[in-house]
Structure 1
Amino acid sequence: MEHPPERSSAPWWQRGTIYQIYPRSFQDTNGDGIGDLAGIVRRLDYLVELGVDAVWLSPFYPSPMADFGYDVADYVDVDPIFGTLADFDALVAAAHDKGLKVLVDLVPNHTSDAHPWFQEARTGRDSAKRDWYIWRDPAPDGGPPNNWLSEFGGSAWAEDAASGQYYYHAFLDRQPDLNWRNPAVAEAIFEVMRFWMRRGVDGFRVDVIWHMLKDPEFRDNPPNPDYRAGRNPYQSLLPVHTTDLAEVQEVVARLRRVVDEFPDRVLIGEIYLPLERLVAYYGRTLDGAHLPFNFALLETPWTARDIADLVARYEAALPAGGWPNWVLGNHDRPRILKRVGPDQARVAAMLLLTLRGTPTLYYGDEIGMAQVEIPPERVQDPYEKNVPGLGLGRDGVRTPMQWDAGPQAGFSEVEPWLPVSPDFTEVNVAAETREGESLLTLYRRLLALRRGSAALSLGAYVPMAAEGDLFLYGRAAEGESLVVALNLGGDPILVAAPVEGQILLSTSGDREAERVASEISLRPHEGVIVRLR
């Protein structure tokens, strides 16, 4: 087993925990029902008290908001609904003063159709920026150039009647894809990165990094033999010519080289791929993304054996020196509470914060925010509007943060852009701060324990034999050995293991300092962390 890095020499992104903020839904300060940068500043003390180390902000750039900021109209400014560049600078300064790093979304695969680059590109075939995007003549029958599909439904080709050509869009037709085979595009995005790092940004989460190159021969994608009716139509084809091309690794390496121009920065890649393909994004010599996001816990069946197998496969697949990371929730997938239920939410918290690698928390998961049912007339997400009836809408995981039991959960003084969860009077930061054994209290204790423990923050992962609903593993660093025992089922478990020590933390919150010797008893849906003698 590879020896973990020394605690003092490890970079902050290995030692720390990342907290994702969806700015529209975190805190409104100007009374328009939409969160803003000033609202994030107002809540920084909460993040410090929670115990996270970095905040990652979903897009705040000027945008028509067709895809709520992932359709960027200007990469180097702030949309007025969120504030100004001065507000952003104030946020970075305040966060840094409190010891928090700031990460931002980089959206280099596509722009808005309102971006000046695309506006110029579509003026004609001879435009100086025509080749900044991906244009093709119609197929011989007059239709789209090939069978490529949009993730948001229908063909990925939009017709430009004025020029008689089609442009490619992996997502909405209002999000034309940039042509990363054009060196001028690459240099323009690299300058965007430098712009934000000069303003103090500590790194980037790169949106859909595995999409950034497409087949230069524009071959049709083959049918998916496993596709079944009723699933997302995008999955009817295997996107072998539109995603995860081998050449994309050089693009990732170039992004990394720009990040490395500035000290102590991090590059994170959004990648929805199987583990054996995901790990390629570390780069052949660890010259790719520092952290290719590992979303496997979002999709793995919630059983002890499936999760234990996942962790073993991931640890085995990592390149030498590659640092792992784990995610339980984000702005695109249903809330963890919906997936595992309230009993297992506490076990999920302990799992996320005790596995080896950098954890990322999604705002509100630490208080147990629910997946909210959105009435049809309140639906905002273009994914749900374009591909209705399949449960793909993302609005329910983007609802306002629940701060207190007051009007609009303390998020805003007016009705917010999405409805507040009906349970906000009980599930909120203020109430859970007062409650000694709340989910929020558990997260705070776990984060404090992780920060103070070399074994949990940087130590080795030690698999341990277990059966049934028990997931058992060790974490070890020089001078410290811990055992984590998680009951992922509804029956009590007696763990017979050669352990002797003291419980540091339990998900039930009432067993700290309890001595264990030779066996550990677990209640239903309980997890414990034991420090060995």
Structure 2
Amino acid sequence: MDWRRMRMDGGETEPEASFESGDGSHHPGPPRFVTVGEGIVDPNGNEMETRDDLAPWNPDGDAAYAWRILESPDGSTAEPTDGPVAEFEPDVPGEYTLALDAPDGTHELTVRAFPEADEDAPRPRVELDATVVEGRVQLSTTASVVGDGDPDVELYVDDRNEDLLEADGTIPVDAIDEPTRVYAVAVDERHSVPDAVELVPGTDQMDHPTVCVTHPFEPPEWAVDSVVYEIFTRRFPDQDEPTFETIADRLDHLERLGIDVLWLTPFLEAESGFGTPMEFGGPHGYNTTDYFSVDPDLGTMADLEALVDACHERDIRVVFDLVINHTSDAHPFYEAAVDETHPDHERYRDWYRWADVDARDPDTYFGWEDIPNLHFGNPAVREYLLGVVDYWAERVDGFRADVAWGVPLSFWTEVSDRVTDADGEFFLLDETLPSDVEMGGGRFHTHHDDVLHDALEGLGESVTGGVTDESADEAGAADDGADAVADEFTDSAAGLDTSTADAILAAVDDRRRRGAHPDSEWLLYVENHDTDRYLTEYGRDAQLAAGAATFTLPGSPMLYYGQETGVTGRRDPMNWGAFDEDLLEYYRRLIDLRKSHPALRADADLERVASDADTDAAVAFARADPASGRRVVVVLHFGEGTAMVDLDESVDGTDLLTGADVLASDGAFAVDSVVVLEGDES
């Protein structure tokens, strides 16, 4: 396999990749698609609103940049704000052409502004494809929207390429002399997240011009059906010697489980290293003090690289937790920014966002004053952080972007272009809560499915009423002082009825209503480092059902360390030597079935199944594989004891998960937590 940093013959490593955004110029990237009344803005002090801006790519922090309007719709008086990184709020629907004056010349950027719309209306989706027929590239689109809409589709050629689209919507093959990207946007009551194809020129054996069609927003093939495992880095290894080396010593556990991706929470030098008490979140590492050094208490860079190599030897990819929305207030840049006597004060005072710049009161989230937010309106900050991205993209297989909603969309677009151009197998996962579909379509491949997570939480509360016994209450007590990100947000499942188990299907349906990009994947999780343990909060029966939901619904299932072994505290040490073996075997079977049955893979369809149960805590659905025709019916039960469920579906009576016969004499199925049944081929 072509693993990153894989040791080659003679112990040498692969040559480092060359990182460059776009064509290497300061051109600000692809066309922008916005709504009048929202625009492209970076609101200071708003903890919940996604940020965006206009910025040069491959920025030089010491160079001069300026934005201006070249063309705008009749009646518009909108202008970009002053500064190298600008905001722009279109005031009239239509097409705008902006100019960025940069050291390497003037670059033009299209901004398509759509009319204001009802934000509660379903958002359309679009898929763009292309074929080459008789010397011409023919573009084809498929647009859809939940409800009665009939979306139109608009096509745009990237401003960095010559507009080769002809009146009939085709492009002559011999006119394409450089990689050319074409975008499609569906328009109904609202506009869609764009889709794109890239047309790459070449020649055939007869030296005739040809074009290869690629889909740049598709996730790496290896990531689509991966099972992810998140570890709280300083709590997972051997507690007598918690290091990268002892994490590597524990990888056999992940290999036996069938894990494909290891997500490491931050391991850089940080203010919250070993010894940080739980009232301050424990040793979480999310307040960085040095982006280019690993925590020496965990080991050396060589030890980290040995851990990555050990993962690769087991066919496990490694995802780095990229924390670039903020730093620690102990970071040298911040110390310089707040100290007027510091020799570097003038350089760094504009590296952070300020609630009150004169008082040096930083802009932060949720009152966390020890993690000041970085200022992406400063090209020097962007230049520096792109260096951080380049450095770590050479050492891992993907990024999980912490607090992705706090970093402008334009920056993530550049990061995606930069790392995936250097390595088409590189993987990008975002944390946005509530999840934002704008993060798809050329920014991130996979998104935290917070709607499903919150539906599982609400369902657990409805079924069990919360903590179920004194032991669970005591287990959660150690976490009472640790404020969790998820606890600070508005309930992402608001509007979903979580009093019945059908809520999990409504959560999946919600992806399409919100207009998620067709290539977007979803990370399905029961718990993570920012939530309480589901086992602790809602009990064993509900945890078994919730875990099964994440392995049987469409998406990429994730385990948080110890979920499979019975850890009860949010950030407790891994319970090595004290595993709940029954629970562990349950998750092993779930993973094995998820990987072995084609109807449970990512591209299998989800269908509702008519059923009749003796409890609202049960739900049935089907998954069908279009390629093989194989079909399964899954029944989940979140309550205690056994539910009896009648299915309006022809299925085999043997549970694929356990091999047990679950068909009762009256034709109903007995479901403790989950049964998976082979259905008739579709």
User: TM-score higher than 0.5 here?
Assistant: yes
Does 2:231 align with 1:41? no
Query: Which residue is 1:326 aligned to?
Result: 524
Query: Which residue is 1:205 aligned to?
Result: 400
Show the 5 A alignment for 1:4-15. Answer: 11-15=221-225
Contiguous gaps of at least 5 residues in structure 2: 1-124, 128-141, 143-214, 273-279, 460-499
Query: Which residue is 2:507 aligned to?
Result: 310
Alignment match of 1:56 (pick from 250, 263, 275): 263
Does 2:645 align with 1:483? no
Displacement of 1:192 after TM fit? 1.1
Displacement of 1:522 after TM fit? 2.1
More strand, by proportion: 2
Query: Which residue is 1:130 aligned to?
Result: 349
Letter in 1 for 2:350: D
CA distance in 2, matches of 1:131, 1:306: 46
Letter in 2 for 1:132: W
- Conserved 8 A contact 2:338-2:360: no
Once structures 1 and 2 are overlaid, which stretch shifts more, 325-334 or 125-134?
A: 125-134
Show the 5 A alignment for 1:209-288. Answer: 209-212=404-407, 248-260=408-420, 261-273=422-434, 278-282=436-440, 286-288=441-443
CA distance in 2, matches of 1:489, 1:135: 48
Letter in 1 for 2:349: R
- Conserved 8 A contact 1:472-1:486: yes
Query: Which residue is 2:444 aligned to?
Result: 289
Alignment match of 1:346 (pick from 544, 562, 568): 544
Query: Which residue is 1:144 aligned to?
Result: none
Displacement of 1:42 after TM fit? 0.6
Does 2:660 align with 1:511? yes
517 and 350 in structure 1: CA distance in 2 versus 1, 3 angstrom threshold: farther
- Conserved 8 A contact 1:497-1:519: no
Query: Which residue is 1:401 aligned to?
Result: 574
Q: Report the TM-score, using the length of structure 1 for normalisation.
A: 0.70
Displacement of 1:256 after TM fit? 1.6
- Conserved 8 A contact 2:525-2:558: yes
SS of 2:347's partner is: coil
Letter in 1 for 2:347: A
Once structures 1 and 2 are overlaid, which stretch shifts more, 455-464 or 18-27?
A: 455-464
SS of 1:119's partner is: helix
- Conserved 8 A contact 1:356-1:461: yes
Query: Which residue is 1:463 aligned to?
Result: 608
CA distance in 1, matches of 2:352, 2:507: 38
Query: Which residue is 2:597 aligned to?
Result: 453
Letter in 2 for 1:367: T
Displacement of 1:369 after TM fit? 2.1
Query: Which residue is 2:337 aligned to?
Result: 121
Displacement of 1:72 after TM fit? 0.2
Displacement of 1:297 after TM fit? 3.4
Displacement of 1:10 after TM fit? 6.4
**Count of aligned residue pairs for this structure pair:** 402
Aligned residues with identical type, % of pairs: 31
**Structure with max Cα Rg:** 2
Query: Which residue is 1:299 aligned to?
Result: 454
Alignment match of 2:369 (pick from 173, 177, 182): 173
- Conserved 8 A contact 1:354-1:450: yes
522 and 108 in structure 1: CA distance in 2 versus 1, 3 angstrom threshold: same
Query: Which residue is 1:182 aligned to?
Result: 378
Residue deviations 1:40-81, cap 9 Å, x none?
101111100011101000011111217631110111111112
Does 2:576 align with 1:363? no
453 and 348 in structure 1: CA distance in 2 versus 1, 3 angstrom threshold: same
Query: Which residue is 2:675 aligned to?
Result: 528
189 and 494 in structure 1: CA distance in 2 versus 1, 3 angstrom threshold: same
Query: Which residue is 2:534 aligned to?
Result: 336
Query: Which residue is 1:112 aligned to?
Result: 328
Displacement of 1:398 after TM fit? 0.3
Displacement of 1:207 after TM fit? 0.8
More helix, by proportion: 1
Displacement of 1:441 after TM fit? 0.6
CA distance in 2, matches of 1:111, 1:308: 38
CA distance in 2, matches of 1:109, 1:205: 13
SS of 1:482's partner is: strand
- Conserved 8 A contact 1:259-1:267: no
SS of 1:252's partner is: helix
- Conserved 8 A contact 2:618-2:643: no
CA distance in 1, matches of 2:513, 2:589: 30
Letter in 2 for 1:364: G
Displacement of 1:316 after TM fit? 3.8
Residue deviations 1:150-208, cap 9 Å, x none?
xxxxxxxxxxxxx7432222253222211011122122112112111212x01111111
Displacement of 1:137 after TM fit? 4.5
Letter in 2 for 1:287: G
- Conserved 8 A contact 2:609-2:648: no
- Conserved 8 A contact 2:244-2:299: yes
- Conserved 8 A contact 2:448-2:524: yes
463 and 443 in structure 1: CA distance in 2 versus 1, 3 angstrom threshold: same
Letter in 2 for 1:127: E
Q: Give the structure, 1 or 2, with the largest relative contact order (CA under 8 Å, sep 6 or more).
A: 1
CA distance in 2, matches of 1:131, 1:519: 70
CA distance in 1, matches of 2:666, 2:509: 25
Displacement of 1:521 after TM fit? 0.7
Query: Which residue is 1:143 aligned to?
Result: none
CA distance in 2, matches of 1:492, 1:111: 50
- Conserved 8 A contact 2:609-2:647: no
CA distance in 2, matches of 1:484, 1:404: 33
Displacement of 1:100 after TM fit? 0.2
Letter in 1 for 2:384: A
Does 2:309 align with 1:93? yes
Displacement of 1:476 after TM fit? 1.4
Does 2:622 align with 1:474? yes
Does 2:646 align with 1:495? yes
Query: Which residue is 2:296 aligned to?
Result: 80
472 and 118 in structure 1: CA distance in 2 versus 1, 3 angstrom threshold: same
SS of 2:536's partner is: helix
SS of 2:255's partner is: helix
CA distance in 1, matches of 2:329, 2:417: 29
SS of 1:258's partner is: helix
CA distance in 2, matches of 1:531, 1:114: 57
Query: Which residue is 1:226 aligned to?
Result: none
293 and 15 in structure 1: CA distance in 2 versus 1, 3 angstrom threshold: same
Displacement of 1:519 after TM fit? 4.8
- Conserved 8 A contact 2:328-2:371: yes
CA distance in 2, matches of 1:465, 1:255: 45
Query: Which residue is 1:102 aligned to?
Result: 318
Letter in 2 for 1:476: A
- Conserved 8 A contact 1:169-1:176: yes
Q: Report the TM-score, using the length of structure 2 for normalisation.
A: 0.55
